[in-house]
Structure formats: C-alpha cells, structure tokens
Structure 1
Amino acid sequence: MISNSVNLKEKAHWVWRETLAVHRRAPETRIASSLSAIEIFVALYYGGVLNIDATDPRWDERDRCVISKGHGSICMYPILADLGFFPASELQRVCKAGGILGGIPDPIIPGYETINGSLGHGLGVASGMALGLKRNGKKQNVFVVSGDGELHEGANWEAIMFASQHKLDNLHLIVDNNSISMLGFTDDIVSHDGLVRRLEAFGWQCVEVDGHNVLKVQNQLLSLKAITDGRPKALIARTLKGRGVPGLENEALAHILMPKAELLDFLLEANDAR
C-alpha cells in the first residue's frame, strides 16, 4: 500500500502542474476533464486507499481501479511515473511514436486495468470484477472513476442495479461530478440533481464531498472502504472542469476547448516561480 505520509495538497498541486506540462507537449490530450479529477486520483494513489504494488502492476492481491473516464485521466500519467509504474521519460513521449502513453489510455500502460475509450462501460466492468472477487472469497476492493456525463448512459444504471442485487460492498464508484459533459452543462441535458438520493434509492451507500479538498476525499474513501454492510458505495465529488485555467474552468464547452500555448507557458512559469 502507498504510504499516506505524503503531503497530499502539495502532491495535488504538483500533479496539476505536470498535467499542464503533458498537455503542452501533447495538445491532442483532453485537458479540462483531467484537471477536475486530480484530487480524486491523488487521494486514491497517494492517500493509502488503494492496495497496489508499482513493481508488480498485476499483483493478484491488488485493489482494482477502473478508470472509466479514460480521456480524463491524463493527470494519471505523472502519478504513475512518480510511483514507479513506468519511467518518467515516458512523459516526454505522450502521443508520440514509440511511446506507451496515448491520448486515450489502454492496458499497455502499467497501472491501467481496462480499455477506456468507449465511455459508460467502466462501472459494468468493475461490477463484474467485484462479483468475481467476492465469489472467489477474495478481500480486494474495486474502485471505478466515472465522469458525470457517463451517467446519462443506461448501461451504468443496469450496473447500479446489478451491484445492489449482488450486495457488492467491495465496489466503490467515484463520480467526477464537474457538471459539464461534451457539449454543455449536464443540467441542460439530463440533470444530476439529487444524485445521492437516486443512488440510495437503488440500495447504495452514498456520500458527497468537495472533490478539490483532497484530504476530505481521502477520508471519505477510507471510511467507505471500511464499510462492509452489503451495499455498494459511491462518492460524488463536486469538481470544476478545467480547474485553474482561465477561459477553461467551468466553461460550457471546456471538454473540447484547448488553451493556447502562450497561456499554458504563462501558467507553468508562474507555478515554477512560486
């Protein structure tokens, strides 16, 4: 298990900076979706939540982490490199010939469990993993990080019912609830108002948290992981899409916008001068 002695706030800021740097080198990556989930991933991977081993990514006793919003996990690249899943030199080759890190991650990358290109399927896959582990008497937990826009897809609600039916209390859904999908605010498409109540009505244990308060995210995940009462668990993390980037943060079309290179250079230089 990764030590939770790391200063999580400092680590989250470092990941934000490194995510901008990755996007500056590979502008085809989705930056806004990656910036909203940073504290979620920092809490998972540095906060003592996941039981994993970077020297053996397929260790049988590991907790599983399914990253359903694959395009929105470019911030995972510096995390995995920092933890030793692959050499840090790979960060210079994102979306380049010969590199293993693409715009959409896949299992060729040590630390990724699944193919994550087609959205809306991560929770179903994770539910199957959780059921398999439980039926085989295994104690490992399964976490799945989903975008809120994915919850517009019916397959997720089938998985939500399935997980409750089979009492998958080893399953943890984390929703990056940044309120913006590909083409606008989710409230203008299919609202997620009352999401906690909806999940609870389906038999889930569910809590909501400020998704940019990394310590609160960590504490809630650790608390949920400790509960084994037969209910699957969900953490709804309220976040901002494009967080920290002017003209991108909380913009309706942030998903498909790309900040100008000059702005990225300014933000990176300002960060280095801190």
Structure 2
Amino acid sequence: MSASLSIAGAEEVQKLRQHAYRIRRNALLMGEVQGQGYVGQALGVADVLAVAYFRHLKFRADDPEWEGRDRFLLSIGHYAIALYAALIEAGIVLESEIENYGSDDSILPMSGMATYTPGMEITGGSLGHGLGIGVGMALGLKRKGSDSYIYNLLSDGELNEGSTWEAAASASHWKLNNLIAIVDVNDQQADERSSKVLNYEPIADRWTAFGWETWRVNGNDLEELVRAFDSAVSSQSDKPRVIICDTLMGRGVPLLETREKTHFIRVDEDEWSLALKQLDDVYGIK
C-alpha cells in the first residue's frame, strides 16, 4: 500500500456509505425526471462508484480534463445515470443538472456520450469496446511516463463479446499494471440472465488465465470493496488488475431489490417518492 493511502477505518467507511447514499439518491431523482432510466444498475453499482471516486481516483472537480487525472471509463453506456450521479456527488457536474436529465440539449443524455458531459471519458454505447479503449489509454499513459490509472467499468454481459477478451489478452501482453477493470456482475442482460445467455463462470479463473491479478468481492460491501481497490492500486505486480463485483440491482430500495427484474427495472409513477423514502429509511435519514 502506498504511503499516502491509510487503512480505511470505521469513520472513512461511514463517509463512503454517505457518498453511496447520495449517489443512489441522485440517480433516483434523475429517474423521476424522465419517469425511467437504468436506476436498478445505478443502485447496484453505487458502492463501487463511491469507493472508486472518493477513495482512489485522482481528479479535479473544476478541471475535468486535468492531465494528471485518473481516467474512469464507462464501457456500459446505459449505466450513464449511475456515473452522472457520482459526477454530481464529486462536484464535477452541478447538482442543478439533475432536473435536466435526458432532456433536449442536456449535458446528461440518457446514454453516456463523452462530448456532452464533463468527466465522461468515452462514449460507451455499443457494448464490448470500453476495455479495448482502456488498453489504448493505459498504454499511451505508460509511454508518456504518467502515473495515472485507467479504471474501466464493464458488465458481465460484455463478457459475451470477443472484443473484451482480445483487450484482456492485450493488456496482459503489454503489462498494463496501470489498468484496473471493474466487472459489475448482476446476472442481468436484455435477453435473459447473463449466465444463461453465455455462462461466464468460473469468471475469476478466466481473468487469471488471461494474465490478470484478480479479486472477487461483494460489490455492495464497502469494506470488501475498499480492501480490493486498495490491493489493486498498491500491488507491485506488472499485471493488469480486475475487481469482479457481485451486485444486486436495486440495492438500497427494498421495493426494487425484490422486484422481478431483467435488464430494465420498471418504476411506476407513484413509486418514485416511495423509492426515495425507502432509500432514506435504509440509510437512517430523517
């Protein structure tokens, strides 16, 4: 572990919990604006984003294109509402933009596009391309002598794509130890459960076989996430790193946690306020 990174105590974990709460709340508020959105994924991955942005990423909220920043790549473009929620919490995007979510000329379109949103590094519309872009960025940073990291959030469904595994092989070949992939495993995609469309288990062994350092954690457990991210960043290995995060879509809102779900969780008009109330109750917010 680097000298600048102290072991997370109970107080820091509590701070991360509050960041995760506000990320979830931001996502629900944006979903309410349009009456829709991939809020299930946002609720599921909020803890991952909290640890990434508020324990590890180097960034300047007032200068999103600062050369010394770490790059966070959203390969799964339909998770944009989740990343927007984190960018708002980080102060990179103004909170007032929530009310413009998904509207014409908004800087927060419903699918993430780099040309629109400060802090959105890539356009991740077609799935399976983010890790390849991340490999190119990581290789470029290495050749420039930069100490910045590339973080790439991708989904279990993207493991169906051959391009993802080509990128994984390339990262190992080039010894890109400045590349950290984060796989959100919620076992959901458009046509069926991800594991039934194309079984990805044993997922950790597959990444290890491709030459990656591998961690698998409960992606809704902040302490597990902190340990995995800390280990990935502090490792002295020359291998790329992957953190496999098992998450629950709808996490933090009981009515959505238990709802039958696929790629998209439907939230009825009268349920948005209830979802917000349940989130507040889970986090003990009065």
Task: Place the TM-score, normalised by the shorter chain, in its bin.
Answer: over 0.9
Relative distance call for 1:251 and 1:166 in structure 2 (3 A) is: farther
Structure 2, unmatched stretches of 5+, are: none
Partner of 2:143: 135
Which amino acid is 2:61 matched to? A
* TM-score (norm. length: structure 2): 0.88
Q: CA deviation at 1:200?
A: 0.6
SS at match of 2:257: coil
Q: CA deviation at 1:248?
A: 4.3
User: 1:229 is paired with a residue of what secondary structure?
Assistant: coil
Alignment of 1:46-61 (within 5 A): 46-47=54-55, 49-61=56-68
Are 2:249 and 1:241 equivalent residues in the alignment? yes
Hey, which of these two has a bigger chunk of helix by percent? Answer: 2
User: Gaps spanning 5+ residues in structure 1: where?
Assistant: none
Q: Deviations over 1:104-155 (max 9, x none)?
A: 0111211110111111100000000001111222211111000110110000
Compute the displacement of 1:269 (Å). 3.1
Identify the match of residue 170 of structure 1 among 178, 195, 203: 178
Determine if the alignment matches structure 1 residue 180 to structure 2 residue 188.
Answer: yes
Please state if 1:83 is matched with 2:87: no
Q: Tell me the distance in 2 between the aligned counterparts of 1:16 and 1:255.
A: 18
Question: How far did residue 244 of structure 1 move?
Answer: 3.8
Cα pair 1:170 1:232 within 8 Å, conserved: yes
2:136 aligned partner, one-letter code: G
Is 2:263 the partner of 1:255? yes
Deviation at 1:272, TM superposition (A): 4.7
Q: Kindly, what percent of the aligned residue pairs are identical? A: 32
Q: Secondary structure at the match of 1:36?
A: helix
For residue 196 of structure 1, the aligned residue among 200, 204, 207 is: 204
Q: What is the TM-score when the length of structure 1 is the normalising length?
A: 0.92
* Matches of 1:188 and 1:218, distance apart in 2: 30
CA distance in 2, matches of 1:226, 1:205: 12
Q: Does 1:98 align with 2:79?
A: no
Q: CA contact under 8 A between 1:180 and 1:252: conserved in structure 2? A: no
CA separation of 1:39 and 1:163: change in aligned 2, threshold 3 A: same
SS at match of 1:61: coil
Q: Which one is further off, 219-228 or 232-241? A: 219-228
2:166 is matched with which residue?
A: 158
Aligned equivalents of 1:135, 1:249: Cα separation in 2: 44
What does residue 116 of structure 1 align with? Answer: 124
- Please name the residue that 1:216 is paired with: 224
Give, in whole Å, the separation in 2 of the partners of 1:181 and 1:241.
11
C-alpha RMSD of the superposition:
2.2
Deviating more after overlay: 219-228 vs 73-82: 73-82
Displacement after TM superposition at 1:178 (Å):
0.7
Equivalent residue letter for 1:268: L
Q: Contact 1:241–1:250 (CA<8 Å) still a contact in 2?
A: no
Give the aligned length: 273
Task: Give per-residue Cα distances to partners, 1:166-219, cap 9 Å, x unaligned.
Answer: 111111000001111112212211112111111111111001011001232122
